[in-house]
Chain A
Amino acid sequence: MRPAPALAEGFPDLSGMRIAREPHWFRWISAALIVLVLAGIARAFANGQIEWSYVSRFLTAKVILEGIVNTMVMAVLAMALGIFLGIVVAIMRLSPNPVLKTVAAGYTWLFRGTPLILQLLLWFNLALVFPTIGIPGLWSARAVDIMTPFLAALLGLGINQGAYTSEVMRAGMLSVDVGQYEAAQAIGMGRLRALRRIILPQAMRVVIPPLGNEFIGMVKATSLASVIQYPEVLHNAENIYYANSRVIELLIVAGLWYLLVVSILTPLQMLLERRFARGTLRPVR
Protein backbone atom coordinates (compact mmCIF):
# COMPACT_ATOMS: atom_id res chain seq x y z
CA MET A 1 0.00 0.00 0.00
CA ARG A 2 1.33 3.38 -1.03
CA PRO A 3 1.38 5.74 2.00
CA ALA A 4 -0.77 8.81 1.57
CA PRO A 5 1.13 12.03 2.25
CA ALA A 6 0.71 13.33 5.79
CA LEU A 7 -2.11 15.83 6.11
CA ALA A 8 -1.28 19.39 7.17
CA GLU A 9 -2.03 20.26 10.79
CA GLY A 10 -4.27 23.00 12.10
CA PHE A 11 -7.51 21.85 10.47
CA PRO A 12 -9.77 20.24 13.10
CA ASP A 13 -12.04 17.31 12.37
CA LEU A 14 -15.56 18.75 12.11
CA SER A 15 -17.25 15.53 11.09
CA GLY A 16 -19.03 15.11 14.42
CA MET A 17 -20.39 18.65 14.52
CA ARG A 18 -23.99 19.51 13.83
CA ILE A 19 -25.10 22.45 11.72
CA ALA A 20 -26.98 24.81 14.01
CA ARG A 21 -30.63 25.62 13.32
CA GLU A 22 -30.82 29.35 12.84
CA PRO A 23 -33.53 31.10 14.96
CA HIS A 24 -34.74 33.28 12.02
CA TRP A 25 -36.07 36.05 14.30
CA PHE A 26 -37.11 38.23 11.38
CA ARG A 27 -39.36 35.50 9.95
CA TRP A 28 -41.12 34.98 13.28
CA ILE A 29 -41.70 38.71 13.81
CA SER A 30 -42.98 39.31 10.28
CA ALA A 31 -45.26 36.25 10.48
CA ALA A 32 -46.68 37.53 13.79
CA LEU A 33 -47.33 40.97 12.28
CA ILE A 34 -49.13 39.47 9.30
CA VAL A 35 -51.32 37.31 11.57
CA LEU A 36 -52.16 40.42 13.60
CA VAL A 37 -53.20 42.38 10.52
CA LEU A 38 -55.31 39.47 9.24
CA ALA A 39 -57.00 39.13 12.62
CA GLY A 40 -57.84 42.83 12.52
CA ILE A 41 -59.37 42.52 9.07
CA ALA A 42 -61.36 39.44 10.14
CA ARG A 43 -62.65 41.34 13.20
CA ALA A 44 -63.71 44.28 11.07
CA PHE A 45 -65.71 42.02 8.77
CA ALA A 46 -67.27 40.09 11.68
CA ASN A 47 -68.55 43.35 13.16
CA GLY A 48 -69.48 44.92 9.81
CA GLN A 49 -72.95 45.17 8.27
CA ILE A 50 -72.94 41.58 7.05
CA GLU A 51 -75.53 39.00 7.94
CA TRP A 52 -73.31 35.89 7.98
CA SER A 53 -76.33 33.64 8.36
CA TYR A 54 -77.31 34.58 4.78
CA VAL A 55 -73.86 33.64 3.56
CA SER A 56 -73.99 30.18 5.10
CA ARG A 57 -77.58 29.66 4.01
CA PHE A 58 -76.98 30.57 0.35
CA LEU A 59 -73.53 28.96 0.09
CA THR A 60 -75.15 25.61 -0.66
CA ALA A 61 -78.43 26.84 -2.17
CA LYS A 62 -79.50 24.87 -5.21
CA VAL A 63 -79.36 27.87 -7.57
CA ILE A 64 -75.83 28.73 -6.45
CA LEU A 65 -74.66 25.11 -6.84
CA GLU A 66 -76.16 24.99 -10.33
CA GLY A 67 -74.40 28.24 -11.05
CA ILE A 68 -70.98 26.95 -10.02
CA VAL A 69 -71.51 23.79 -12.08
CA ASN A 70 -72.38 25.98 -15.10
CA THR A 71 -69.32 28.11 -14.40
CA MET A 72 -67.06 25.05 -14.37
CA VAL A 73 -68.65 23.49 -17.46
CA MET A 74 -68.23 26.75 -19.37
CA ALA A 75 -64.65 27.28 -18.13
CA VAL A 76 -63.56 23.76 -19.13
CA LEU A 77 -65.28 23.79 -22.54
CA ALA A 78 -64.16 27.32 -23.45
CA MET A 79 -60.61 26.57 -22.32
CA ALA A 80 -60.58 23.35 -24.38
CA LEU A 81 -61.73 25.33 -27.40
CA GLY A 82 -59.13 27.99 -26.60
CA ILE A 83 -56.28 25.49 -26.32
CA PHE A 84 -57.30 23.75 -29.54
CA LEU A 85 -57.47 27.04 -31.44
CA GLY A 86 -54.28 28.21 -29.73
CA ILE A 87 -52.28 25.18 -30.87
CA VAL A 88 -53.61 25.38 -34.42
CA VAL A 89 -52.96 29.12 -34.67
CA ALA A 90 -49.47 28.81 -33.14
CA ILE A 91 -48.56 26.14 -35.71
CA MET A 92 -49.96 28.34 -38.48
CA ARG A 93 -47.99 31.29 -37.17
CA LEU A 94 -44.71 29.31 -37.24
CA SER A 95 -45.39 27.80 -40.66
CA PRO A 96 -43.38 28.91 -43.68
CA ASN A 97 -46.65 29.49 -45.60
CA PRO A 98 -47.36 33.27 -45.75
CA VAL A 99 -51.12 32.80 -46.12
CA LEU A 100 -51.39 30.73 -42.94
CA LYS A 101 -49.08 33.14 -41.14
CA THR A 102 -51.16 36.17 -42.08
CA VAL A 103 -54.47 34.52 -41.18
CA ALA A 104 -53.05 33.53 -37.79
CA ALA A 105 -51.67 36.99 -37.10
CA GLY A 106 -54.98 38.56 -38.16
CA TYR A 107 -56.98 36.30 -35.83
CA THR A 108 -54.77 37.16 -32.87
CA TRP A 109 -54.93 40.85 -33.73
CA LEU A 110 -58.73 40.90 -33.99
CA PHE A 111 -59.62 38.93 -30.88
CA ARG A 112 -56.95 40.36 -28.60
CA GLY A 113 -57.72 43.84 -29.83
CA THR A 114 -61.33 44.09 -28.65
CA PRO A 115 -62.77 43.71 -25.15
CA LEU A 116 -64.07 40.29 -24.21
CA ILE A 117 -67.40 41.67 -22.99
CA LEU A 118 -67.92 43.35 -26.37
CA GLN A 119 -67.22 40.08 -28.17
CA LEU A 120 -69.71 38.25 -25.93
CA LEU A 121 -72.39 40.86 -26.68
CA LEU A 122 -71.69 40.61 -30.43
CA TRP A 123 -72.03 36.80 -30.46
CA PHE A 124 -75.22 36.95 -28.40
CA ASN A 125 -76.75 39.58 -30.67
CA LEU A 126 -75.69 37.91 -33.90
CA ALA A 127 -79.33 37.60 -34.85
CA LEU A 128 -79.46 41.37 -35.36
CA VAL A 129 -76.93 41.02 -38.19
CA PHE A 130 -77.94 37.65 -39.62
CA PRO A 131 -81.59 36.83 -38.85
CA THR A 132 -81.14 33.37 -40.35
CA ILE A 133 -77.96 31.37 -40.60
CA GLY A 134 -77.20 28.18 -42.45
CA ILE A 135 -75.75 26.66 -45.59
CA PRO A 136 -77.58 28.00 -48.69
CA GLY A 137 -79.87 25.37 -50.17
CA LEU A 138 -79.10 22.74 -47.54
CA TRP A 139 -80.06 23.93 -44.12
CA SER A 140 -81.01 27.08 -42.33
CA ALA A 141 -82.37 28.20 -38.99
CA ARG A 142 -83.26 31.32 -37.12
CA ALA A 143 -80.21 32.78 -35.43
CA VAL A 144 -82.15 33.58 -32.26
CA ASP A 145 -82.85 29.88 -31.76
CA ILE A 146 -79.25 28.80 -32.29
CA MET A 147 -77.39 31.54 -30.51
CA THR A 148 -78.36 30.57 -26.97
CA PRO A 149 -76.54 32.18 -24.03
CA PHE A 150 -74.55 28.95 -23.69
CA LEU A 151 -73.32 28.91 -27.29
CA ALA A 152 -72.64 32.65 -27.35
CA ALA A 153 -70.60 32.39 -24.13
CA LEU A 154 -68.70 29.35 -25.40
CA LEU A 155 -67.81 30.99 -28.71
CA GLY A 156 -67.01 34.35 -27.16
CA LEU A 157 -64.82 32.99 -24.36
CA GLY A 158 -63.20 30.16 -26.35
CA ILE A 159 -62.31 32.14 -29.46
CA ASN A 160 -60.97 35.01 -27.39
CA GLN A 161 -58.96 32.56 -25.28
CA GLY A 162 -57.54 30.97 -28.42
CA ALA A 163 -55.92 34.27 -29.41
CA TYR A 164 -54.09 34.50 -26.08
CA THR A 165 -53.26 30.78 -25.88
CA SER A 166 -51.72 30.82 -29.37
CA GLU A 167 -49.06 33.22 -28.10
CA VAL A 168 -48.38 31.04 -25.05
CA MET A 169 -48.07 27.99 -27.31
CA ARG A 170 -45.82 29.82 -29.74
CA ALA A 171 -43.52 30.81 -26.86
CA GLY A 172 -43.35 27.17 -25.75
CA MET A 173 -42.55 25.93 -29.25
CA LEU A 174 -39.83 28.56 -29.68
CA SER A 175 -38.25 27.43 -26.41
CA VAL A 176 -37.52 23.95 -27.80
CA ASP A 177 -34.00 23.64 -29.18
CA VAL A 178 -33.65 23.77 -32.97
CA GLY A 179 -31.64 20.55 -32.77
CA GLN A 180 -34.84 18.76 -31.77
CA TYR A 181 -36.56 19.70 -35.08
CA GLU A 182 -33.48 18.53 -36.95
CA ALA A 183 -33.26 15.24 -35.03
CA ALA A 184 -36.97 14.61 -35.70
CA GLN A 185 -36.52 15.36 -39.41
CA ALA A 186 -33.46 13.11 -39.50
CA ILE A 187 -35.50 10.09 -38.43
CA GLY A 188 -37.94 10.85 -41.22
CA MET A 189 -40.69 12.80 -39.46
CA GLY A 190 -42.66 15.40 -41.37
CA ARG A 191 -43.24 18.86 -39.94
CA LEU A 192 -46.61 18.13 -38.33
CA ARG A 193 -45.57 14.78 -36.90
CA ALA A 194 -42.40 16.30 -35.46
CA LEU A 195 -44.51 19.03 -33.88
CA ARG A 196 -46.98 16.56 -32.41
CA ARG A 197 -44.58 13.87 -31.24
CA ILE A 198 -41.41 15.77 -30.35
CA ILE A 199 -41.84 19.53 -30.10
CA LEU A 200 -45.23 19.99 -28.41
CA PRO A 201 -44.57 17.50 -25.57
CA GLN A 202 -41.38 19.38 -24.74
CA ALA A 203 -43.08 22.75 -25.15
CA MET A 204 -45.78 21.67 -22.67
CA ARG A 205 -43.30 21.83 -19.81
CA VAL A 206 -42.76 25.54 -20.45
CA VAL A 207 -46.38 26.22 -21.31
CA ILE A 208 -48.18 24.72 -18.31
CA PRO A 209 -47.49 27.52 -15.78
CA PRO A 210 -48.86 30.27 -18.09
CA LEU A 211 -51.74 28.00 -19.19
CA GLY A 212 -52.59 27.48 -15.53
CA ASN A 213 -52.76 31.24 -15.26
CA GLU A 214 -55.00 31.43 -18.31
CA PHE A 215 -57.35 28.74 -17.00
CA ILE A 216 -57.72 30.47 -13.65
CA GLY A 217 -58.39 33.66 -15.59
CA MET A 218 -61.01 31.79 -17.63
CA VAL A 219 -62.86 30.55 -14.52
CA LYS A 220 -63.32 34.16 -13.49
CA ALA A 221 -63.92 35.46 -17.03
CA THR A 222 -67.03 33.24 -17.25
CA SER A 223 -68.63 35.77 -14.89
CA LEU A 224 -68.76 38.19 -17.82
CA ALA A 225 -71.20 35.80 -19.46
CA SER A 226 -73.74 36.94 -16.85
CA VAL A 227 -74.37 39.97 -19.11
CA ILE A 228 -75.71 37.66 -21.81
CA GLN A 229 -77.92 35.73 -19.37
CA TYR A 230 -75.72 32.64 -19.06
CA PRO A 231 -76.69 31.21 -15.65
CA GLU A 232 -73.25 30.94 -14.10
CA VAL A 233 -72.66 31.47 -10.39
CA LEU A 234 -72.36 35.28 -10.36
CA HIS A 235 -75.44 35.64 -12.55
CA ASN A 236 -77.45 33.44 -10.18
CA ALA A 237 -76.13 35.27 -7.12
CA GLU A 238 -77.21 38.56 -8.68
CA ASN A 239 -80.67 37.20 -9.37
CA ILE A 240 -81.01 36.26 -5.71
CA TYR A 241 -79.93 39.65 -4.40
CA TYR A 242 -82.23 41.46 -6.80
CA ALA A 243 -84.96 39.65 -4.88
CA ASN A 244 -83.71 39.81 -1.28
CA SER A 245 -81.31 42.83 -1.38
CA ARG A 246 -78.53 40.91 0.42
CA VAL A 247 -75.96 42.19 -2.06
CA ILE A 248 -72.71 41.80 -0.11
CA GLU A 249 -73.70 38.44 1.38
CA LEU A 250 -74.35 36.92 -2.03
CA LEU A 251 -71.22 38.43 -3.55
CA ILE A 252 -69.27 36.80 -0.72
CA VAL A 253 -70.97 33.48 -1.50
CA ALA A 254 -69.90 33.73 -5.15
CA GLY A 255 -66.40 34.84 -4.12
CA LEU A 256 -65.97 31.86 -1.79
CA TRP A 257 -66.93 29.49 -4.58
CA TYR A 258 -64.42 31.05 -6.99
CA LEU A 259 -61.71 30.77 -4.31
CA LEU A 260 -62.57 27.13 -3.69
CA VAL A 261 -62.41 26.24 -7.39
CA VAL A 262 -59.09 28.02 -7.87
CA SER A 263 -57.68 26.32 -4.74
CA ILE A 264 -58.49 22.94 -6.27
CA LEU A 265 -56.98 23.85 -9.63
CA THR A 266 -53.57 24.84 -8.26
CA PRO A 267 -52.50 21.36 -7.05
CA LEU A 268 -53.86 19.88 -10.28
CA GLN A 269 -51.48 22.14 -12.18
CA MET A 270 -48.57 20.87 -10.07
CA LEU A 271 -49.45 17.26 -10.94
CA LEU A 272 -49.50 18.15 -14.65
CA GLU A 273 -46.17 19.93 -14.36
CA ARG A 274 -44.58 16.90 -12.76
CA ARG A 275 -45.88 14.70 -15.55
CA PHE A 276 -44.36 16.90 -18.25
CA ALA A 277 -41.06 17.36 -16.41
CA ARG A 278 -40.08 13.76 -17.22
CA GLY A 279 -36.44 13.49 -18.23
CA THR A 280 -35.50 17.07 -17.39
CA LEU A 281 -34.41 16.47 -13.80
CA ARG A 282 -30.71 15.87 -14.07
CA PRO A 283 -29.03 13.28 -11.88
CA VAL A 284 -26.26 14.65 -9.68
CA ARG A 285 -23.10 12.74 -9.17
Chain B
Amino acid sequence: MTKPLVAIRSVSKSFGEFQALKSVSLDVWPGEVMCLIGASGSGKTTLLRCINQLAIIDSGGIWLDGELLGVREQSGKLHRLSEREIGRQRLKTGMVFQRFNLFPHKTALENITEGPLQVQGRKSDEVRAEALELLRRVGLSAKANSYPAQLSGGQQQRVAIARALAMKPMLMLFDEPTSALDPELVGEVLAVMKELAKSGMTMMVVTHELGFAREVADRVVYMDQGAIVEQGRASDVLGAPREERTKAFLSAVI
Protein backbone atom coordinates (compact mmCIF):
# COMPACT_ATOMS: atom_id res chain seq x y z
CA MET B 1 0.00 0.00 0.00
CA THR B 2 1.33 3.44 -0.88
CA LYS B 3 1.84 6.02 1.82
CA PRO B 4 0.35 9.50 1.79
CA LEU B 5 2.85 12.19 0.75
CA VAL B 6 1.42 14.51 3.39
CA ALA B 7 -0.21 13.25 6.56
CA ILE B 8 -1.77 15.90 8.79
CA ARG B 9 -2.92 14.71 12.22
CA SER B 10 -4.88 16.75 14.79
CA VAL B 11 -3.17 20.00 13.83
CA SER B 12 -4.22 23.10 15.76
CA LYS B 13 -2.93 26.64 15.36
CA SER B 14 -3.97 29.90 17.00
CA PHE B 15 -3.02 33.51 16.41
CA GLY B 16 -3.61 35.00 19.84
CA GLU B 17 -7.29 34.57 20.59
CA PHE B 18 -8.15 33.50 17.06
CA GLN B 19 -8.09 29.75 16.46
CA ALA B 20 -7.10 29.35 12.82
CA LEU B 21 -6.98 25.53 12.76
CA LYS B 22 -8.96 23.24 15.05
CA SER B 23 -7.54 19.73 15.15
CA VAL B 24 -7.36 19.22 11.40
CA SER B 25 -6.50 15.77 10.00
CA LEU B 26 -5.97 15.08 6.31
CA ASP B 27 -3.99 12.90 3.90
CA VAL B 28 -2.63 14.01 0.54
CA TRP B 29 -1.65 11.17 -1.75
CA PRO B 30 1.20 11.18 -4.29
CA GLY B 31 0.04 12.64 -7.57
CA GLU B 32 -3.15 14.01 -6.08
CA VAL B 33 -4.42 17.49 -6.93
CA MET B 34 -6.33 18.86 -3.96
CA CYS B 35 -8.27 22.11 -3.98
CA LEU B 36 -8.98 23.83 -0.67
CA ILE B 37 -11.97 26.14 -0.73
CA GLY B 38 -13.70 28.23 1.89
CA ALA B 39 -14.30 31.80 3.01
CA SER B 40 -11.33 33.97 4.04
CA GLY B 41 -10.37 33.21 7.63
CA SER B 42 -11.44 29.56 7.29
CA GLY B 43 -7.88 28.31 7.80
CA LYS B 44 -6.99 27.04 4.34
CA THR B 45 -4.05 29.41 3.81
CA THR B 46 -2.82 28.72 7.34
CA LEU B 47 -2.86 24.99 6.59
CA LEU B 48 -0.62 25.54 3.55
CA ARG B 49 1.72 27.81 5.50
CA CYS B 50 2.00 25.16 8.25
CA ILE B 51 3.03 22.52 5.69
CA ASN B 52 5.76 24.88 4.44
CA GLN B 53 6.59 25.81 8.06
CA LEU B 54 6.06 29.51 7.38
CA ALA B 55 3.66 29.13 10.31
CA ILE B 56 4.51 26.87 13.24
CA ILE B 57 1.74 24.57 14.47
CA ASP B 58 0.74 24.65 18.14
CA SER B 59 -0.04 20.95 18.45
CA GLY B 60 -0.50 17.83 16.38
CA GLY B 61 1.83 16.60 13.67
CA ILE B 62 2.48 16.94 9.94
CA TRP B 63 4.47 14.28 8.09
CA LEU B 64 5.87 14.99 4.63
CA ASP B 65 7.25 12.05 2.69
CA GLY B 66 7.18 10.04 5.93
CA GLU B 67 9.22 12.63 7.88
CA LEU B 68 7.79 14.54 10.82
CA LEU B 69 8.01 18.30 10.16
CA GLY B 70 9.58 20.86 12.48
CA VAL B 71 10.14 18.56 15.47
CA ARG B 72 11.91 15.35 16.37
CA GLU B 73 10.44 12.81 18.76
CA GLN B 74 12.81 11.59 21.40
CA SER B 75 12.01 9.70 24.60
CA GLY B 76 8.40 10.83 24.76
CA LYS B 77 9.13 14.51 24.09
CA LEU B 78 9.18 16.68 20.99
CA HIS B 79 12.31 18.70 20.26
CA ARG B 80 12.32 21.55 17.77
CA LEU B 81 14.54 21.07 14.76
CA SER B 82 17.27 23.56 13.96
CA GLU B 83 16.75 26.28 11.38
CA ARG B 84 19.02 24.35 9.05
CA GLU B 85 17.01 21.12 9.25
CA ILE B 86 13.78 23.03 8.74
CA GLY B 87 15.34 24.60 5.65
CA ARG B 88 16.16 21.13 4.32
CA GLN B 89 12.56 19.98 4.91
CA ARG B 90 11.21 23.08 3.17
CA LEU B 91 13.07 22.14 -0.01
CA LYS B 92 10.59 19.30 -0.51
CA THR B 93 7.78 21.79 -1.03
CA GLY B 94 7.39 24.63 -3.50
CA MET B 95 5.23 27.63 -2.61
CA VAL B 96 3.41 30.00 -4.94
CA PHE B 97 2.10 33.13 -3.25
CA GLN B 98 -0.97 35.24 -3.93
CA ARG B 99 1.18 38.37 -4.44
CA PHE B 100 3.90 36.52 -6.47
CA ASN B 101 6.72 37.77 -4.20
CA LEU B 102 9.26 37.73 -7.01
CA PHE B 103 12.61 39.31 -6.15
CA PRO B 104 12.23 42.75 -7.80
CA HIS B 105 15.98 43.28 -8.25
CA LYS B 106 16.51 40.11 -10.29
CA THR B 107 15.44 39.19 -13.81
CA ALA B 108 12.97 36.38 -14.49
CA LEU B 109 15.84 34.01 -15.20
CA GLU B 110 17.77 35.09 -12.09
CA ASN B 111 14.67 34.62 -9.95
CA ILE B 112 14.53 31.02 -11.10
CA THR B 113 18.25 30.25 -10.79
CA GLU B 114 18.72 31.93 -7.39
CA GLY B 115 17.59 28.93 -5.30
CA PRO B 116 19.39 26.17 -7.21
CA LEU B 117 22.62 28.20 -7.33
CA GLN B 118 22.70 29.72 -3.84
CA VAL B 119 20.83 27.15 -1.73
CA GLN B 120 21.52 23.90 -3.52
CA GLY B 121 24.94 25.02 -4.77
CA ARG B 122 24.52 23.44 -8.18
CA LYS B 123 26.54 24.12 -11.35
CA SER B 124 25.54 27.31 -13.13
CA ASP B 125 25.36 26.11 -16.76
CA GLU B 126 23.20 23.14 -15.80
CA VAL B 127 20.90 25.32 -13.65
CA ARG B 128 20.65 27.90 -16.42
CA ALA B 129 19.62 25.30 -18.98
CA GLU B 130 16.94 23.97 -16.63
CA ALA B 131 15.69 27.47 -15.89
CA LEU B 132 15.36 28.27 -19.60
CA GLU B 133 13.45 25.00 -20.05
CA LEU B 134 11.13 25.96 -17.17
CA LEU B 135 10.57 29.39 -18.74
CA ARG B 136 9.67 27.66 -22.00
CA ARG B 137 7.28 25.41 -20.11
CA VAL B 138 5.44 28.40 -18.62
CA GLY B 139 5.49 30.13 -22.01
CA LEU B 140 7.91 32.94 -21.16
CA SER B 141 11.07 32.11 -23.12
CA ALA B 142 11.09 35.64 -24.52
CA LYS B 143 11.05 37.24 -21.04
CA ALA B 144 14.12 35.61 -19.51
CA ASN B 145 15.93 38.93 -19.09
CA SER B 146 12.92 41.02 -18.06
CA TYR B 147 12.60 42.35 -14.52
CA PRO B 148 9.37 41.62 -12.57
CA ALA B 149 8.21 45.23 -12.90
CA GLN B 150 8.32 44.81 -16.71
CA LEU B 151 5.99 41.78 -16.60
CA SER B 152 2.22 41.56 -16.28
CA GLY B 153 0.73 39.95 -13.18
CA GLY B 154 0.03 36.72 -15.03
CA GLN B 155 3.58 36.59 -16.36
CA GLN B 156 4.99 37.28 -12.89
CA GLN B 157 2.95 34.46 -11.40
CA ARG B 158 4.15 32.07 -14.11
CA VAL B 159 7.75 33.03 -13.31
CA ALA B 160 6.94 32.40 -9.64
CA ILE B 161 5.68 28.91 -10.51
CA ALA B 162 8.85 28.25 -12.50
CA ARG B 163 10.93 29.52 -9.56
CA ALA B 164 9.21 27.05 -7.23
CA LEU B 165 9.62 24.18 -9.70
CA ALA B 166 13.34 24.89 -10.11
CA MET B 167 13.93 23.45 -6.63
CA LYS B 168 12.39 20.16 -7.82
CA PRO B 169 9.82 19.91 -5.03
CA MET B 170 7.72 16.81 -4.34
CA LEU B 171 4.72 18.94 -3.43
CA MET B 172 3.54 22.26 -4.82
CA LEU B 173 1.54 24.60 -2.59
CA PHE B 174 -0.52 27.32 -4.26
CA ASP B 175 -1.93 30.07 -2.05
CA GLU B 176 -4.72 31.74 -4.04
CA PRO B 177 -2.41 32.02 -7.07
CA THR B 178 -4.92 33.88 -9.24
CA SER B 179 -6.65 36.13 -6.68
CA ALA B 180 -4.42 39.13 -7.36
CA LEU B 181 -4.74 38.87 -11.15
CA ASP B 182 -6.87 40.67 -13.70
CA PRO B 183 -9.60 38.32 -15.00
CA GLU B 184 -8.07 38.08 -18.48
CA LEU B 185 -4.74 36.95 -16.98
CA VAL B 186 -6.19 34.20 -14.78
CA GLY B 187 -6.46 31.74 -17.66
CA GLU B 188 -2.75 31.71 -18.52
CA VAL B 189 -1.78 30.87 -14.93
CA LEU B 190 -4.43 28.17 -14.62
CA ALA B 191 -3.24 26.68 -17.92
CA VAL B 192 0.27 26.32 -16.51
CA MET B 193 -1.16 24.73 -13.35
CA LYS B 194 -3.26 22.30 -15.40
CA GLU B 195 -0.22 21.26 -17.38
CA LEU B 196 1.63 20.76 -14.10
CA ALA B 197 -1.21 18.64 -12.69
CA LYS B 198 -1.17 16.51 -15.85
CA SER B 199 2.55 15.90 -15.43
CA GLY B 200 1.78 14.11 -12.16
CA MET B 201 2.83 16.76 -9.62
CA THR B 202 1.18 16.55 -6.21
CA MET B 203 -0.56 19.87 -5.64
CA MET B 204 -2.48 21.60 -2.86
CA VAL B 205 -4.28 24.63 -4.21
CA VAL B 206 -6.11 27.21 -2.13
CA THR B 207 -8.41 28.81 -4.67
CA HIS B 208 -11.66 30.55 -5.43
CA GLU B 209 -11.58 29.27 -9.03
CA LEU B 210 -14.30 26.65 -8.79
CA GLY B 211 -14.09 26.00 -12.53
CA PHE B 212 -10.46 25.01 -12.11
CA ALA B 213 -11.34 22.84 -9.10
CA ARG B 214 -14.08 21.10 -11.04
CA GLU B 215 -11.84 20.42 -14.01
CA VAL B 216 -8.51 19.54 -12.41
CA ALA B 217 -8.95 18.59 -8.73
CA ASP B 218 -9.01 14.96 -7.66
CA ARG B 219 -10.43 16.08 -4.36
CA VAL B 220 -12.06 19.25 -3.08
CA VAL B 221 -11.86 20.11 0.61
CA TYR B 222 -14.25 22.71 2.02
CA MET B 223 -13.06 24.41 5.22
CA ASP B 224 -14.92 26.69 7.59
CA GLN B 225 -13.82 28.21 10.93
CA GLY B 226 -10.59 26.24 11.06
CA ALA B 227 -12.07 22.81 10.39
CA ILE B 228 -12.75 20.57 7.38
CA VAL B 229 -16.50 20.56 6.84
CA GLU B 230 -16.80 18.44 3.74
CA GLN B 231 -14.48 16.73 1.27
CA GLY B 232 -14.73 14.45 -1.71
CA ARG B 233 -14.60 14.39 -5.51
CA ALA B 234 -15.05 17.80 -7.10
CA SER B 235 -18.27 16.78 -8.82
CA ASP B 236 -19.71 15.63 -5.49
CA VAL B 237 -18.66 18.50 -3.23
CA LEU B 238 -19.28 21.25 -5.80
CA GLY B 239 -22.15 19.58 -7.65
CA ALA B 240 -24.07 18.00 -4.80
CA PRO B 241 -22.91 19.43 -1.46
CA ARG B 242 -24.42 17.73 1.54
CA GLU B 243 -23.51 20.10 4.35
CA GLU B 244 -25.57 23.23 4.85
CA ARG B 245 -22.45 25.37 5.29
CA THR B 246 -20.98 24.11 2.01
CA LYS B 247 -24.23 24.87 0.21
CA ALA B 248 -24.35 28.37 1.68
CA PHE B 249 -20.73 29.05 0.68
CA LEU B 250 -21.17 27.76 -2.86
CA SER B 251 -24.34 29.73 -3.46
CA ALA B 252 -22.57 32.85 -2.19
CA VAL B 253 -19.58 32.33 -4.48
CA ILE B 254 -21.30 31.39 -7.73
Residues of A near any B CB (own CB < 8 A): 1-2, 4-5, 7-8, 10-20, 22, 284-285
Contact = CB atoms under 8 A, between A and B. Distances in A.
A7 B25 contact: yes
B216 interface: no
Contact of A14 (B59, B79, B232): B59
A19 B78 contact: yes
B60 A284 contact: no
Interface of B: 3-4, 7, 9-10, 12, 15, 20, 23, 25-27, 40-41, 43, 45-46, 55, 59-61, 63, 71, 73-74, 76-80, 228, 230-232, 236-237, 242-243
B108 to A, nearest CB: 21
Given A1-B243, A4-B231, A14 B7 contact: no
Contacts, number: 77
A7 B27 contact: yes
Contacts of B4: 8
A15 B60 contact: yes
B228 A20 contact: no
Contacts of B228: 4
Contact of B46 (A14, A20, A285): A285
A7 B26 CA distance: 7
B216 to A, nearest CB: 19
B3 A10 contact: yes
A19 B79 contact: yes
A15 B77 contact: no
Nearest to A1: B242
Contacts of A5: 27, 231
Contact of B79 (A1, A15, A20): A20
Contact of B55 (A16, A17, A284): A284
Residue of B15, B27, B55, B243 most packed against chain A (CB within 10 A): B27
Contacts of B60: 13-15
Given A11-B61, A12-B9, A15-B23, A22 B79 contact: yes
A181 B45 CA distance: 33
B144 to A, nearest CB: 25
B205 to A, nearest CB: 16
Contacts of A13: 9-10, 60-61
Given A2-B243, A5-B231, A11-B63, A17 B46 contact: no
B78 A18 contact: yes
A7 B46 CA distance: 21
Task: List the 6 closest A-B pairs by CB distance, nearest first.
Answer: A15-B10, A14-B61, A20-B77, A11-B7, A15-B59, A15-B60
Nearest to B44: A285
A2 B230 contact: yes
13 contacts: A4-B228, A4-B231, A10-B3, A11-B7, A11-B63, A14-B59, A15-B23, A15-B60, A17-B73, A17-B78, A22-B80, A284-B55, A285-B20
Residue of A1, A11, A16, A22 most packed against chain B (CB within 10 A): A11
Residue of A1, A5, A15 most packed against chain B (CB within 10 A): A15
Contacts of A18: 77-78
